[in-house]
Structure 1
Amino acid sequence: MTRIPRAPLILGLAGLTPFVWGAATVVSNDLAALGAEVLGPRFIGPYVQLFYGSVILSFMSGVLWGFATKATGAQAATGYTLSVIPALWAFFMTGGGPTSAATNLLFGFAGLLMLDFAFAQWGLTPTWWMRLRVLLTAIVVACLGITVIL
């Protein structure tokens, strides 16, 4: 594996902000109150995590679709088919209340990591891809886990 380039690493870590912020406001009532007052109730606790998590799973479907364009034949068809799963998962599995939606998102991100691994094994991703994805996924799953547990 090679080193993660600076721009994807910084942007990837910055993209964790809604997950980390959401977990922090689940843990701290004072922070939640401040966040609700300044940003509004939609931007605290599980609400920011659930909305943003759905957006990111959909975004990652597009990333995987882009990787699938590097393949040919049956592998390309498989790649395109697998690439739509994260977006469909977010669409169908994030209803039913914050705990079940957060649980389903947590599993969605874990499943996405498996798809990332498959695309990496097929040689369709940059060599540093899995290092970035494991780091980001671990943080996302931890933040969603806080929401599910608390």
Structure 2
Amino acid sequence: MNDYDRKVLIAPLLLGLAGLLPFLWGALTYLNADLALWGTKALGPRFVGPYIQLFYGSVILSFMSGVLWGFATKTEGAQAAIGYALSTIPALWAFFMTGGGPVGAGTNLIFGFVGLLFLDYTFFKWGLTPPWWMQLRLLLTIVVVACLALGVVF
């Protein structure tokens, strides 16, 4: 990785880490009842535990569909058609698979984020992503899945 790539990585890394905050906050409110109570009173019930994680997780999967769509614009022909089709999967997964209660929805989001990592890898192998893409995506996915797993277990 050259110096330019390292410098470009700083902004996505910081924004990606900031994007983990709702997942981390949701996990903390699972683990600490006093924090959950405070969060409910100060922020509202939608911003603690499963509610913030499931809603935000759906938003992020949909956002990542848009990111993959952007990568697909770099292709042509059959690869473009495949890239566009693949890019819709995370958003459709979030839409169809996050109902039915917090445990089922959380489990499905975990599968959605793991599946997204495979899609990320596909676009990476096609040469459509920045060179640092998989390092960032792997880090973020591990944290997201761990946070969602707390909601599934507790």
Give the alignment's TM-score, normalised by structure 1. Answer: 0.98
Residue in 1 that maps onto 2:75: 71
Q: Higher relative CO (CA 8 A, sep ≥ 6), structure 1 or 2?
A: 1
Residue in 1 that maps onto 2:148: 144
The answer as to 2:131 corresponding to 1:112 is no
- CA separation in 2, counterparts of 1:53 and 1:135? 16
Which amino acid in structure 1 is aligned with residue 21 of structure 2?
T
Q: Structure 1: where are the runs of 5+ without partners?
A: none
User: 1:52-110 CA distances to partner (integer Å, 9 max, x unpaired)?
Assistant: 00000000000000000001111111000000000000000000000000000000000
- CA separation in 2, counterparts of 1:99 and 1:129? 30
Which amino acid in structure 1 is aligned with residue 149 of structure 2?
G
Counterparts of 1:4-83 in structure 2 under 5 Å?
A: 5-83=9-87
Q: Note the C-alpha offset of 1:51.
A: 0.3
Q: Structure 2: where are the runs of 5+ without partners?
A: none
- CA separation in 1, counterparts of 2:149 and 2:101? 15
What is the root-mean-square deviation of aligned Cα atoms in Å? 1.0
Q: Note the C-alpha offset of 1:5.
A: 1.2
Which amino acid in structure 2 is aligned with residue 71 of structure 1?
T
- CA separation in 2, counterparts of 1:114 and 1:28? 33
Residue in 2 that maps onto 1:121: 125
- CA separation in 1, counterparts of 2:130 and 2:10? 14
Number of matched residues? Answer: 150
- CA separation in 2, counterparts of 1:149 and 1:67? 35
SS in 2 for 1:84: helix
Which amino acid in structure 2 is aligned with residue 54 of structure 1?
S
The answer as to 2:131 corresponding to 1:89 is no
What is the percentage of aligned positions where both structures have the same residue? 71
- CA separation in 2, counterparts of 1:7 and 1:59? 17
- CA separation in 1, counterparts of 2:46 and 2:22? 11
- CA separation in 1, counterparts of 2:132 and 2:10? 11
